[in-house]
Amino acid sequence: MAFIGVDLHTNSFSVCRLEADGREQLETFQLAAADLERFCLSLDADDELAVEATGNSAWFCGEVRSCVGRVVVVNPKQFQVIRKSVKKTDRHDARALALFLSKDMLPETRLKSQAENELASLVHTRDVLVKQRTRLLNKIHALHVRHGVKLKKESLSSRRALKELDIARFSALEQVELKIVRDQALSLNAAIVEIDAAIETAARDMDGYNGLVSIKGIGPRSAAVLLSGIGNVADFDSADKLAAYLGIVARVSQSNDTDNRGRITKRGNKLMRTTLVQCTLIAIRYSGYLNAFYRRIKERRGVGKAIIATARKLLKIVFDTLTRRWVFEDFPNFVIAGEQKNRLDIHHRRRTT
């Protein structure tokens, strides 16, 4: 059995093979079919391999997983030994991975399925397009304001309003600018509509989709963001672990008699966090339980902390929905589909026996 550290790049990878008796073997391979096959042939079934999470680490792990006993994908944000090393070479990085792997001291990250990765990428692309469209619409609004023309930003959200913009009042150069910006915004509108349809279609095929969309406040796109971001919910022991993964837990600094708790860490997926908060703002309109909790925290600690605390509550419901495979029949009254029927069946059996 050997412990193998891999420093992976886009065109090559350096390998340190650390044997049980302490012997090391260092080698660099090209990231080509022939070299990759030669590397796989050098592996044993009981070897353990560690590689840092990068853009192509999922593909690389898929190529070598069947050749070794265990593959560890390392979280680079938690493993600072490589980044802060004063001797920064590929072989030294591979050696560090192999050494810490042999001590079982590497912070492991999760690998999602191909479907989850593809949906997450599509959702991220949509977010990029929406932000780009917003910048373009802000540019149109700013050009009108510059000439003292009152124009509501909301009026630019429709395709018809953009096409009917009166640009004759502007100078020749401004007309060119407005026309280009408007056409780009219209193109982005069409692209976002197309990508929305693809996201909803892909999300419907994922486990837990029906349960999430049965929660008032979580729509098809929000469900897609949460499902692609969470991945396999079984990776989390509790809702608190999931909250930490999303970065909506407070920073804690404890030493001796001091105990300081600050703002949320924000170390998770920003899009997931934003989506969860947006869903929470809608859910409190329908759920008496969430609304009462939100108001109680708001009175004591203010609006901002109340929203985050309520988002944690909603996340707990999301976690339970995914782990217990709930589908809500009536979310405001917290009635789960089939639950009322089961209660009636039990009551009927008790009366007839």
59-78 confidence digits (pLDDT tens)? 999 999 999 999 999 999 88
Question: What pLDDT, on a 0 to 100 scale, did the predictor assign at position 150?
Answer: 86
Q: Are 321 and 208 in contact (CB under 8 A)?
A: yes
Q: Is the pLDDT of residue 346 over 70?
A: no
The average pLDDT across 41-60 equals: 94
Q: Are 318 and 223 in contact (CB under 8 A)?
A: no
Strands annotated E in 53-129: 70-74
The average pLDDT across 85-112 equals: 91
Taking only the tens place, the pLDDT of each residue in 173-183 is 999 999 999 99
The average pLDDT across 192-214 equals: 95
Ramachandran category for residue 284: left, alpha or beta (phi over 0 → left; psi -120 to 50 → alpha): alpha
Nearest partner of 4 among 96, 78, 90, 80, judged by Cα? 96
Percent pLDDT > 90 in the chain is 75
Nearest partner of 279 among 313, 245, 303, judged by Cα? 313
What's the rounded Cα separation, in Å, for the pair 102 and 41?
21
pLDDT bucket at 347, cuts 50 / 70 / 90: very low
What's the rounded Cα separation, in Å, for the pair 132 and 142?
15
The average pLDDT across 327-344 equals: 76
How much is the mean pLDDT over the chain?
A: 90
Question: What pLDDT, on a 0 to 100 scale, did the predictor assign at position 297?
Answer: 95
Nearest partner of 153 among 140, 169, 163, 166, judged by Cα? 140
165 phi, psi to nearest 5 deg: -60, 135
Taking only the tens place, the pLDDT of each residue in 234-271 is 999 999 999 999 999 888 777 777 777 778 888 889 99
Q: Are 117 and 227 in contact (CB under 8 A)?
A: no
Q: Which residue has the higher pLDDT, 155 or 220?
A: 220
Strands annotated E in 41-133: 48-52, 70-74
Q: Which residue has the higher pLDDT, 343 or 298?
A: 298
Q: Which residue has the higher pLDDT, 151 or 180?
A: 180
Give the SS3 label for residue 180.
helix
Q: Are 29 and 91 in contact (CB under 8 A)?
A: no
Question: What pLDDT, on a 0 to 100 scale, did the predictor assign at position 339?
Answer: 62
pTM over 0.85: no
**Contacts with 16 (C-beta within 8 Å, 6 or more apart), sequence order:** 4, 5, 24, 25, 26, 91, 94, 95, 97, 98
pLDDT bucket at 348, cuts 50 / 70 / 90: very low
| Residue in the structure block whose two tokens are 């997926």 | 269
The average pLDDT across 314-340 equals: 90
Residue type, position 60, single letter: F
The average pLDDT across 330-336 equals: 91
What's the rounded Cα separation, in Å, for the pair 151 and 193?
25
pLDDT bucket at 154, cuts 50 / 70 / 90: confident
Question: What pLDDT, on a 0 to 100 scale, did the predictor assign at position 83?
Answer: 78
269 phi, psi to nearest 5 deg: -75, 115
What's the rounded Cα separation, in Å, for the pair 217 and 286?
8
Q: Is the pLDDT of residue 352 over 70?
A: no
In this structure, are strands 12-19 and 24-30 parallel, antiparallel, or unpaired? antiparallel
Least confident segment among 27-36, 98-107, 148-157, 333-342? 333-342
Nearest partner of 322 among 224, 199, 210, judged by Cα? 210
